[in-house]
């Protein structure tokens, strides 16, 4: 059965991803199963997507209920789950308005367009440049690879879209020095996920917020990976006491269905009027129904606290390994977004963990990244830690 799946995938799908074998055929909570019923414990959650775990009963029920009503009318008509999800997002964030897209990159495209349009609408047509961070990741479309502060995602796709500059994370002086009369916004991830959990510091974000306010620059937070409870707050900006003007979401928003969102203050949102931006599928009712169930469950079942507590437990155990193995350089974490930097590439360790039934990931070559679903158990964490201990001991000897 899975051999056909693997054969068809390898033969017919463009090879933009390397896939692990064997293939999974079902999943529930933090466990995935292959066709021999071998169990794997999930420390990746579909790359920070299935935050409530796989096949969550409330999310699945909401999806089924919506499927039985209707799938799609288009954004020319009202669709109930969109309004419900929008009100949940607005009532739990700094924002006044939301635009729904299908993915993270699309949400960021929207944010880039909105920042440029707002500058034009407010008497500064010369402003279009956006400053982003070195080692950021904002997506794979042409605008978002241009926004991304990593050369490797751009190679072969030149010319890059003009209008982006990159500065070192947490370096306010570098950022201030790079602003020109053309700058309209600064865009960053409060924690960089794809490049190994690099964390913004509070002083930097506070100084940046003040600088943006005094220089009429918009502050855009890409919370595509950090949002929806991943760091132990609904949105990572809440850790800092610093609110953005625009925020983007995707990944965990619908716990596994495709959905992206762009949120902003009312004054900025006014720059999007009929005809300026749109998406046929954006805000699909089934995805939005899943989003409503996801956010309500996170809030009602205290998952933000669970995420913090589990994160603290996990980090303590990882620090134990750091004390034991000198090649572990640093543990970086907020909630259940955790990186363990090694002094050598981690791909081999990821593969060894997989063979032993643990799904982890490696970001920017040397950082093991753990993004478990919030339903992970302390026993699962203990089991991974002893597996890592065993693998690390083999490296040491």
Among 46, 81, 104, 256, binds ligand PLP (CB under 6 A): 104
With CB under 6 A as the contact rule, the residue among 27, 59, 62, 105 that binds ligand PLP is 105
Give the contact letters, 179-198, x = binds to ligand PLP (CB under 6 A), - = no. ----------x---xx----
Q: Cβ(331)–Cβ(388) under 8 Å?
A: no
* Packed helices 80-91 and 285-300: angle between N→C axes, nearest 10 degrees: 40
Across 8-88, the runs of DSSP E, i.e. the strands, are: 24-28, 31-34, 39-42
Handedness of CA 276, 156, 199, 370 (dihedral sign): positive
Binding-site member from 29, 110, 139, 163 for ligand PLP (CB under 6 A): 139
Contacts with ligand PLP by CB under 6 A: the residue count is 14
Q: Which is nearer to ligand PLP, 51 or 103 (CB)?
A: 103
Characterize the bridge pairing of strands 39-42 and 31-34: antiparallel
Helix 347-355 to helix 378-396 angle, to the nearest 10 degrees?
A: 120
Rank residues 104 and 335 by Cβ distance to ligand PLP and give the closer one: 104
* Comparison of 104 and 282: residue with beta carbon closer to ligand PLP: 104
334 binds ligand PLP (CB under 6 A): no
Report residue 363 as tokens. Answer: 């970001």
**339 closest CA partner among 192, 212, 154, 206:** 192
Which is closer to ligand PLP, CB of 104 or CB of 291? Answer: 104
Query: Taking the complex as a whole, how short is the minimal distance between the CB of residue 194 and ligand PLP, in angstroms?
Result: 5
Q: How far apart are CA 187 and CA 4, in angstroms?
A: 43
CA-to-CA dists, residue 84 to 80, 91, 287, angstroms: 6, 11, 12
Is the CB of residue 184 less than 8 Å from the CB of residue 211?
no
* Selected range binding ligand PLP among 24-32, 137-145, 179-187, 283-291, rule: CB under 6 A: 137-145
Task: Verify binding: residue 224, ligand PLP, rule CB under 6 A.
Answer: yes
From the list 341, 321, 323, the residue with the least C-alpha distance to 331 is 341
Beta carbon nearer to ligand PLP, 247 or 384: 247
Stretches 30-38, 102-110, 304-312, 324-332: which one binds ligand PLP (CB under 6 A)?
A: 102-110
Stretch that binds ligand PLP, among 104-112, 160-168, 310-318, 386-394 (CB under 6 A): 104-112
- CB closest to ligand PLP, residue no: 104
Binders of ligand PLP among residues 240 to 259 (CB under 6 A) are 250
Residues of this chain that bind ligand PLP (CB under 6 A): 103-105, 108, 137-139, 189, 193-194, 222, 224-225, 250
């Amino acid at each position: 059965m899975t051999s056909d799946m693997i054969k068809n995938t390898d033969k017919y799908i463009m090879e933009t991803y390397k896939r692990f074998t064997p293939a999974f055929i079902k999943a529930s909570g933090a466990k995935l199963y292959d066709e021999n019923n071998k169990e794997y414990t999930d420390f990746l959650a579909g790359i920070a997507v299935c935050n409530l775990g796989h096949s969550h009963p409330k999310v699945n029920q909401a999806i089924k209920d919506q499927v039985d009503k209707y799938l799609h009318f288009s954004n020319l008509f009202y669709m109930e789950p969109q309004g419900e999800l929008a009100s949940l997002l607005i009532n739990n964030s700094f924002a006044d308005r939301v635009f729904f897209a299908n993915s993270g990159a699309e949400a960021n495209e929207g944010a880039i367009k909105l920042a440029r349009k707002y500058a034009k609408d407010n008497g500064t047509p010369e402003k279009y440049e956006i400053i982003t961070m070195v080692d950021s990741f904002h997506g794979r479309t042409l605008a978002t690879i241009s926004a991304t502060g990593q050369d490797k995602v751009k190679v072969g796709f030149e010319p890059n879209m003009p209008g982006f500059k990159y500065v070192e994370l947490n370096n306010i002086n570098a950022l201030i020095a790079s602003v020109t009369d053309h700058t309209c916004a600064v865009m960053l991830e409060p924690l960089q996920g794809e490049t190994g959990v690099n964390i913004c510091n509070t002083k930097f974000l506070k100084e940046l917020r003040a600088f943006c306010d005094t220089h009429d620059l918009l502050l855009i937070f890409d919370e595509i990976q950090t949002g929806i409870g991943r760091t132990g707050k609904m949105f990572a900006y809440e850790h800092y006491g610093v609110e953005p003007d625009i925020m983007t979401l995707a990944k965990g928003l619908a716990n596994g269905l495709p959905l992206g969102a762009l949120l902003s203050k009312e004054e900025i949102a006014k720059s999007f009027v009929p005809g300026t931006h749109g998406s046929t599928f954006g805000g699909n009712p089934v995805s939005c129904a899943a989003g409503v169930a996801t956010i309500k469950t996170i809030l009602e079942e205290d998952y933000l606290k669970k995420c913090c507590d589990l994160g603290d437990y996990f980090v303590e155990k990882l620090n134990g390994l750091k004390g034991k193995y000198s090649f572990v350089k640093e543990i970086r974490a907020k909630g259940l977004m955790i990186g363990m930097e090694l002094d050598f590439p981690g791909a081999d360790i990821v593969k060894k963990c997989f063979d032993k039934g643990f799904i982890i990931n490696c970001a920017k070559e040397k950082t093991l990244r753990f993004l478990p679903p919030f339903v992970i158990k302390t026993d699962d964490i203990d089991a991974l830690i002893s597996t890592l201990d065993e693998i690390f001991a083999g490296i040491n000897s």
